[in-house]
Amino acid sequence: MTDIVQEIKDNSSPHSNTKHVPQLHNTDVDWSSKNFPWSAELDKTLQDVFQIKHFHPVQLQAINSTMSKCDVLLIMSTGGGKSLCFQLPAIISKGITLVVTPLVSLMEDQVLNLKQYGIKAHMLKADSSMDDVMEVYDSMKSPNPQVKLVYVTPEKISKSKQFMSHLDKCYKSGNLSRIAIDEVHCVSQWGNDFRPDYKMLGILKRLYPSTPIIGLTATSTNKVTFDTKQLLNIPDCLVFRTPLVRKNLFYEVRPKPTTHQKVVQDIVTTIQENFKGESGIIYCISCRNCTDVCNSLIKSGIRAAVYHARCSAKKKSEVHQQWLNNEIQVICATVAFGMGINKPQVRFVIHHSISKSVENYFQEAGRAGRDGKPSLCLLYFGFWDVFRQTSMVFRERTGTENLSKVVKFCHNLKTCRVELLANHFGEVNEQCQSPGMCDVCSNLQKTTKKDVTEPCKVLLRLIKSNSMDGNRLTGIQLVDAAIRDSKNRKTKWKDLSRHEWQRIVFDMLVNGFLREDYHLTSRSTIVYLTYGRNVRFLLNNKVMLDLHDNIQQPKNIYKDCLSLNHGTLEKIPKLDNLGKSDNT
């Protein structure tokens, strides 16, 4: 255990001299008012430095709150302008704003943007030059620091005793004006992308009780929000939230074709029919997957490039810049490409494979349409992909629980996808307006509810019979066995398609009739299926499932819905310039 971690634990004890003092907020304060002492300077700096004409109401509320020394938690949709809420106060405040971010690439993007605005910002990272480090440390000791923002990763706080020593001096001299924690959901073990070093940030309020904290995120459920407040020791903080679900995004889930060639051809057709020459992102499950998809797109005449963990920093920077300049149309990326993207005109985000959590999916899909114009969020829901993703996340504390929620979202054919997303994040009464901005609400796809009790029992029988023979079945093996069994016995289920059998398996997983059973080998994790906790209910109850009618489904739901929704979409307010200062 490092010295700094021990020191943090010592300072966190009940005997620590620094204790959290609850904030008493005046609930009658109008935080959107322009009558604060700094209001005139705020407006002038907003226009002169950032070239933005006006605030979003929630931006102004968050800024006035943090300027009033209140702790703040800001939950704002991707592209809403979160970063402005600590960058602007930093400029007009005396002292230094410490900014904690999860990724070095995010630090680099924000610092570069700030320097282009003429703002004195620095970052401390592993390869920072000694001159840069000393300039920051000198500023932290100075009675009149010239550096306005200092960016660090959470590891710098948990592991660098030298940095914490200088931060302590900065606080004692009255020059630590505020602490901004970006992607603050990483604090909570219930959030996507939980980071152990983020959890250590709770010490900051104990060490520096009079310095306000502002936490920012685009994805936070009510559970994560509560957890974050407790862990950061800001239980009485002000919470500002904007509606997270944006009405210009069309959400569609497609059954994933069975071969790589068919998937890519479907992607190519979608791009060529709807987004000729327009920018997009394709998220893939692995580096190899990115390369395969990218090469196939290039062969089809689409300008594409890869961005993943195996790319050098130089290569990533080049690809990012080429994409920003429209020299390439599509980036094929892993989750490594996400934070730090600042391109409003992204017309489509395609998930080649299922995401590991609703939060991850929502944040990645939210890269689309930040300029307020109609954009497509398309997810390919593949049977094999689910079990592959399961084998990757089952060791995480909430990995399988989070993935199960994504499976439910994709498996659904009845409830508006916008409504599902809104409910997940604690928002109510949010849904598509007919004919809808999601495939479910489009009224263009026809489904029929069928009694699939007997096929469910067939699957259970196959699991039991194979188990008695000492065999276990994966999801793919179970579906194969069911198709063979139904045809051999010439049952009335012999005409069920492979996709329909797969939907039945998913339905059984979602309802607890089946569960995954993991087997670890020296090279991989195999996911078998076995009886679930609710299997006994199958004996006395019917299982009803929505299945697509056996008719030709529309090939371009997105295009058809846009034409039907044209009048409604014209009325959607644009984000204007709110995204210019937001790098998340």
Kindly state the average pLDDT of the residues 16-29: 50
Q: What is the pLDDT of residues 498-523, one digit of tens each?
A: 999 999 999 999 889 999 999 988 88
**The pLDDT value given to residue 403:** 93
Which is nearest to 151 in space by CA: 116, 121, 171? 121
Spatial separation of the C-alpha atoms in residues 228 and 577, rounded to whole Å:
29
The DSSP H or E segment spanning 123 is strand 121-123
**The pLDDT value given to residue 106:** 79
Which is nearest to 532 in space by CA: 566, 497, 507? 507
Q: Map residue 51 onto helix, strand or coil.
A: coil
Percent of the chain at pLDDT above 90? 56
**The pLDDT value given to residue 25:** 53
Q: Please check whether the two domains, 249-445+555-581 and 449-548, share a CATH topology.
A: no
**pLDDT at residue 337 tops 70:** yes
What is the token pair recorded at 543? 């299982």
Inter-CA distances, 206 with 40, 151, 527, 574, Å:
33, 20, 44, 41
Q: What would the CATH number be for the domain defined by 449-548? A: 1.10.10.10
Between 12 and 226, the higher pLDDT residue: 226
Q: Tell me, what amino acid is at 185?
A: H
Kindly state the average pLDDT of the residues 572-579: 41
**The pLDDT value given to residue 218:** 86
Q: What is the pLDDT of residues 73-110, one digit of tens each?
A: 999 987 778 999 999 999 999 999 999 998 887 788 78
**The pLDDT value given to residue 200:** 87
Which is nearest to 207 in space by CA: 14, 17, 69? 17
Q: What is the pLDDT of residues 359-417, one digit of tens each?
A: 899 989 999 998 889 999 999 999 999 999 999 988 887 889 999 999 999 999 888 89
Residue extents of the structural domains in the chain = 3-241, 249-445+555-581, 449-548
User: Which sign, positive or negative, has the C-alpha torsion 425, 431, 437, 438?
Assistant: positive
Kindly state the average pLDDT of the residues 327-331: 96
**pLDDT at residue 206 tops 90:** yes
Which is nearest to 384 in space by CA: 526, 507, 271? 526
Q: Is 322 within 8 Å of 155 (Cβ atoms)?
A: no
Confidence of residue 444 (pLDDT cuts 50, 70, 90): low
Q: Taking the model in full, what pTM does it have?
A: 0.82
Spatial separation of the C-alpha atoms in residues 104 and 479, rounded to whole Å:
44
Which is nearest to 66 in space by CA: 48, 83, 50, 49? 83
* Domain spanning 249-445+555-581, CATH architecture: 3-Layer(aba) Sandwich (3.40)
Which is nearest to 267 in space by CA: 278, 256, 277? 256
**The pLDDT value given to residue 239:** 96
Q: What is the pLDDT of residues 449-494, one digit of tens each?
A: 888 888 999 999 999 999 998 899 999 999 999 999 988 887 777 8
What are the residues facing 340 on neighbouring strands?
338
Spatial separation of the C-alpha atoms in residues 97 and 147, rounded to whole Å:
9
**The pLDDT value given to residue 553:** 54
Could you give phi then psi for residue 568, rounded to 5 degrees? Answer: -65, -45
Could you give phi then psi for residue 178, rounded to 5 degrees? Answer: -165, 165
Spatial separation of the C-alpha atoms in residues 187 and 199, rounded to whole Å:
5
Inter-CA distances, 523 with 201, 476, 487, Å:
36, 20, 35
Confidence of residue 549 (pLDDT cuts 50, 70, 90): low
Taking 3-state DSSP, the helix, strand and coil percentages for the chain, each rounded to the nearest 5, stand at: 45, 15, 40
Spatial separation of the C-alpha atoms in residues 74 and 276, rounded to whole Å:
36
**The pLDDT value given to residue 12:** 36
**The pLDDT value given to residue 19:** 40
What are the residues facing 282 on neighbouring strands?
332, 350
**pLDDT at residue 1 tops 80:** no
**The pLDDT value given to residue 430:** 62
Cα within 13 Å of Cα(110), Cβ side: 32
DSSP-assigned letter for residue 200: G
Kindly state the average pLDDT of the residues 152-173: 94
Spatial separation of the C-alpha atoms in residues 172 and 531, rounded to whole Å:
61
CA 202 to chain centre: 23
Overall fold of domain 3-241: Rossmann fold (3.40.50)
- Best mean pLDDT range from 2-11, 74-83, 208-217, 328-337: 208-217
**The pLDDT value given to residue 127:** 82
Confidence of residue 273 (pLDDT cuts 50, 70, 90): very high
Mean pLDDT in the chain?
A: 85
Confidence of residue 533 (pLDDT cuts 50, 70, 90): very high
Inter-CA distances, 498 with 248, 483, 508, 509, Å:
34, 7, 15, 17
Spatial separation of the C-alpha atoms in residues 580 and 378, rounded to whole Å:
25
**The pLDDT value given to residue 22:** 45
Kindly state the average pLDDT of the residues 159-184: 95
